Chain A
Amino acid sequence: MTKRSDIERVLHVWMVDGPAVIPDRVVDVVAARIAINRQRRTWPFPGRTTVTPIRLMAGLAAVLVLAIVGFNFLPSLSSNSGGSPPPATASAAPATVPPTAAPTPTGRPGPTPKTITSRPFDSAPNLAISFDLPVGWSEQDAFEGPRGRTDPDGVMVLFLQAQGVFSDPCQWDVAGTSVEDQPGDLALGADALEFANALHANSAYTSTGAPTPISLGSRAGYAVEIQLPADLDFVGPTCDVPAGDQDGQYIVFGGTGFFPQGPGNRWQVSVVDVGDVQLAVVLSSFAETPAADLAAARALIESIEITP
């Protein structure tokens, strides 16, 4: 097993290999292209950064629009009398693009909820999770609300495999093995209730109550809510720093390793058994996360369909 302290050295050595000389053809192409591409000149006023021609024209267009609207409201000088509404003017803002039926490959948030099908686990390629992504949410490596995922008011939903609970999330891998093998760790089997009970029982963080039965994707499971500490340096050097490493991480349960998104992170963990897989759906939020964003996250989870 490669220890954590070795991997950084391995990666450094591995990355040394490869091209390190720019091909002449690239230089030639760049020279030809810059000969026909103008530089963006900076605005000659102090304190101003580059103003592109497009931005300048947009600004002038906005001024022109305001002038036209203002003129039409002038009394008795225009052909319209009695304060009739001015003719519609073209807005400087681009028209809203109507939603398309097909999901966009880059996952950009669209104006209406879109259905996404995710196959999050390489070890279980047949496990598919379909759900409705709320309006304003974005899809990257997880699904996050309009304010992002981090403190103080972010929200995120993600899918993980429930694999083992570390007894001390801040000192979970001092031996560099990346698995639950230290005293107090719980290496779990395929049982959602056992996993939920383990989270509830761990005193390293606060559980708001015993696991409660839930239905997720038409499957019976359990949910437990945990409150992570508010005073811990989750990504700094104080948490689980084996010799030779530079930073530590706070990890509650193993497998893929989900990190807190900030102090006081609150996780609502719903776990169901899907064949041999313990699927954990985590709703990550904070005390200041707006109620609307929380509601959208819950709606996402309630729309989940699991195949098989």
Chain B
Amino acid sequence: MDRDLVEAAKRGDQAAFVDLVRLRGGRLFAIAHRILRDVDRAEDALQDALVIAWRDLPSLRDPDRFDAWVHRLLTHVCLAEAGRERKRISNLYVLQADDRAAPDELLSIADRDQLDRGFRRLSPDERAILVLRHFVGYEPTEIADILGIPAGTVRSRLHHAHRAMRAALDADSRAAVVGGIST
């Protein structure tokens, strides 16, 4: 059914595209929010990305590639947004009942706060790579294709991001030197 919607939207069917947005939008909004860590900016980025997707949809040759294709669009819009206002103070997202994860002994509230802080210190590229890897589930080669960078660079930045997040969780001051480069 999704393929039919994509094909109809490619032909200019606006209702089909809106149906597609409703079906896929939750996942896309989640990706944008994880990268930007701000509800308002995530909404803005998602709106822009979806309008671009509508505009460029006729160029998508394989409807089955819609998800990966729109993820690429969304990621680049989010990166542009992240680069514009890196110092902007983000609004807090208050966990709603249906958003709250099942209790997990792995992470306390303090852990989550530390992870949030560590994440905000990462570069936009590193944040996007972490989200594409650990939330969406892409392999490094797929992430490289989305971002248009070498797979080796993806692996390097992923590894640096892991180290930085681990340092944030462990409050290891020595490893928290994120001003240096791991490329």
| A interface residues (Cβ-Cβ under 8 A, vs B) | 1-2, 4, 7-23, 25-27, 29-31, 33-35, 37-42, 49-50, 106, 119-123, 140-142, 149-150, 156, 158-161, 163, 178-179, 234-235, 247, 249, 255-259, 261-262
Contact = CB atoms under 8 A, between A and B. Distances in A.
Interface in B56-75: 56-59
B4 interface: no
Given A22-B29, A41-B58, A42-B58, A257 B169 contact: no
Given A13-B101, A30-B50, A259-B159, 20 more contacts: A8-B134, A11-B134, A15-B135, A18-B34, A19-B30, A19-B96, A20-B26, A21-B26, A31-B14, A33-B54, A34-B51, A39-B57, A119-B179, A122-B178, A140-B123, A142-B181, A160-B181, A249-B159, A258-B181, A261-B183
Given A19-B33, A178-B166, A121 B180 contact: yes
Interface residues of B, number: 77
B178 to A, nearest CB: 6
A154 to B, nearest CB: 10
Nearest to A163: B174
B120 interface: no
A256 B159 CA distance: 11
B152 A261 contact: yes
Given A22-B29, A30-B47, A13 B107 contact: yes
Contacts of A12: 134-135
Given A10-B106, A30-B50, A40 B183 contact: no
A247 B140 CA distance: 10
B129 to A, nearest CB: 11
Contact of B180 (A31, A150, A161): A161
Interface string B145-183: 000001111011101101101110110111111111111
A235 B152 contact: yes
Contacts of A40: 55-56, 58-59
B175 A178 contact: yes
A27 B152 contact: no
